[in-house]
Amino acid sequence: MIICFLVNDLNIKAGWGRMAFDLINAAKERGVDARVILREEGLLKRPFFNFFKIRKIISNCDIIHAFDVWPFGFLASVYAVGLGKKIIISAIGTYSIAPLYNFFLKILSTWSYRRADEITAISDYTAKEIKQIIPDLNIDVLSNGVDFEKWSKKTDIFSEIFELKPYILGVGGVKQRKGYHNSISAFAEITLRFPELKYIIVGQTNDKNYFNKLKDIINECNLKDKVIFLSGVSDEKLTALYKNAELFILTPEEHNHQFEGFGLVYLEAAANGLPSIGSRKSGAETAIKEGISGVLVNQGNVHETASMIEKILSDMNFKNKLSIGAIDWARQNTWQKAVSRYLQIYEEIFKKNKKIIVTTSWDDGDVLDLKLAALLDKYGVKGTFYITLNRQNRLTDDEIIAISSKHEIGAHTMSHLLLTEIPAEEAEKQITESKNYLEKITGKQIKMFAYPAGDYNISVVNMVKSHGFSGARTTEDWSWNLPENSFEMPTSLHVYPHFFRPDAGSTRAWLKPLFHNLPKIIRYRLRPTSILSWQNLALAMFDRAYAEGAVFHIWGHSWEIEKYKMWKDLESVLKYISYRKGVEFKTNGEII
């Protein structure tokens, strides 16, 4: 299984970077061939300039997993047009929802969500917010998980941490949606009762405007020596900070549709037995089990937040209850369990893709069928050869027998007459005599019949059935399905010049292949280059069948391939198909 991941970066200090890093590594450990395309210092830094490079990578993958709809879900949908690839969009946070409130981006994001084969959301809140805009989406909530063994293990206490005690702890980048202005104000309300208490905030201070706003609040509340910012903290030191804190607090708020999608830090704190305080209407509703691992407060309610801090610090029974519940909650929400759920989704989607049947059929029994059969043999492809017996340049009986040793022989009447335009008695004779003759020379049952020129009606179908055939092939094309009626077997693509017919006697006839195929190329969202040649169209149609787990049926005439000099085109397509894993090659008779 090959999965292509589209993600901003693999920075383990950032929420989605850590999630992507851990998921990709876990997938690799389980045998997944992971191809990672990044925006930071990667091909996605110039997504359209590198369009064809990225599309080439994606064309060899089974699944595309994009982190957030904008821009990666959208880009995945664009790159996959015409390739038939399965797409998973994981809604992580702000960039899964904020684009839905922009007129132009909403159109593109909605299109991307609807094209996705699977949408996951990191929290119930994230899923609910998306469904407020697109109510009919099916979204599975797959919350993040914590590496319990890593974050719960014993660690040496750092002397500088010992000097900080007692303290409450917050972890996360210093930005407005983290709600530090509310938690600092709440902390100010309880400092008179807990004069020794400090508030440690661990996170990057890249947003200087917001950081300066926090410093103003700190100065106004006389908290200069009580609120301490730390950055560049190692995981080992962060574990020690969790273990020695009195409680964990992060009270995010929505700001211009930017919000906390989940909050892995709540589970990291829980793994250390640290009670948490988080905000309602955010991912904290999923990351914290209210009343068990922590408590939730209303966004922006400073007084309520201060009361909860005070309650946990002053009520030791309540604090101990939350501490025990937090550890149990973290054990229930491990990263290993979260990974297993993602891998299950990959496997389910991959299995849907897995079964692809390729069959071919060739009409008339021209002597050039010997060349065609050899070409099929070269690439391990099976064919059904429908033989018309009374025609010039037909195969000899010995040649038919030779082809039948590796391929299927089917009947195609004695004289290639249109069966709906001749008397019923003559039609019966055309059908029965061709079957009997072919069975006599090959010594095998002739199961399949092909209607000459695809011409048939219910009476002809009943004739074919009554004479012991198991099925019959039509000339209906653009199908990827197994036949619902074995006596009306459709095909996928005729080997025929495309997009112009070179021997046409009129402009209308010259353009006929274009008029026939172009609307279907658009309808089935095949890649735009499909219009340029038969080879491009065949590869695009096969890729769709491969992605969907469907049937790809090529049919034609060897004399026509010779006439239009299409041998190289056909060989190129057969070679491409033969290299793809999981393809089952069958005759027409084997798929009914």
Q: What is the mean pLDDT of residues 563-568?
A: 93
pLDDT band at 507 (very low <50, low <70, confident <90, very high): low
CB 400 within 8 A of CB 388: no
Task: Name residues whose C-beta falls within 8 Å of residue 390's C-beta, 6 or more positions apart in sequence.
Answer: 414, 415, 416
Cα(474)–Cα(449) distance, rounded to whole angstroms?
9
Six token digits for residue 126: 């994230």
pLDDT for residue 167 is more than 70: yes
State what percent of residues in the chain have pLDDT above 90: 68
Q: What is the mean pLDDT of residues 336-347?
A: 88
Q: What local confidence, expressed as pLDDT, does residue 505 receive?
A: 52
pLDDT top residue among 262 and 175? 175
pLDDT for residue 173 is more than 80: yes
For the stretch 521-531, pLDDT in tens is 888 888 888 88
Cα(247)–Cα(523) distance, rounded to whole angstroms?
57
pLDDT for residue 567 is more than 60: yes
Q: Give the chain's domains with CATH numbers.
A: 2-144+339-350 (3.40.50.2000), 148-333 (3.40.50.2000), 355-590 (3.20.20.370)
How far apart, in Å, are the Cα atoms of 423 and each of 430, 433, 459, 460, 464?
11, 16, 11, 11, 15
The answer, yes or no, to whether the previous bond of 99 is cis (omega within 30 of 0) is no
pLDDT top residue among 442 and 517? 442
For the stretch 12-25, pLDDT in tens is 766 667 788 888 88
For the stretch 20-43, pLDDT in tens is 888 888 888 888 899 999 887 788
Q: What local confidence, expressed as pLDDT, does residue 354 receive?
A: 59
Q: What is the mean pLDDT of residues 209-221?
A: 95
The answer, yes or no, to whether the previous bond of 71 is cis (omega within 30 of 0) is yes
Q: What local confidence, expressed as pLDDT, does residue 399 receive?
A: 97
DSSP label of 443:
-
pLDDT band at 502 (very low <50, low <70, confident <90, very high): low
Q: What local confidence, expressed as pLDDT, does residue 496 receive?
A: 87
Cα(499)–Cα(530) distance, rounded to whole angstroms?
9
pLDDT for residue 421 is more than 80: yes
Q: What local confidence, expressed as pLDDT, does residue 353 receive?
A: 56
Six token digits for residue 395: 């195969």
Cα(216)–Cα(312) distance, rounded to whole angstroms?
27
H or E element: which one contains 296? Answer: strand 294-297
Burial class for 300, CB neighbours closer than 10 Å (0-12, 13-18, 19+): middle
Q: What is the mean pLDDT of residues 105-119?
A: 94
Contacts made by residues 526-533, CB under 8 angstroms, sequence distance 24+? 526/82, 527/81, 527/82, 527/83, 528/81, 528/82, 529/82, 530/82, 531/499, 532/499, 533/498, 533/499, 533/569
Type of residue numbered 487: F
Q: What local confidence, expressed as pLDDT, does residue 161 receive?
A: 86
The answer, yes or no, to whether the previous bond of 499 is cis (omega within 30 of 0) is yes
Distance of CA 561 to the CA centre of its chain: 37
pLDDT for residue 352 is more than 70: no
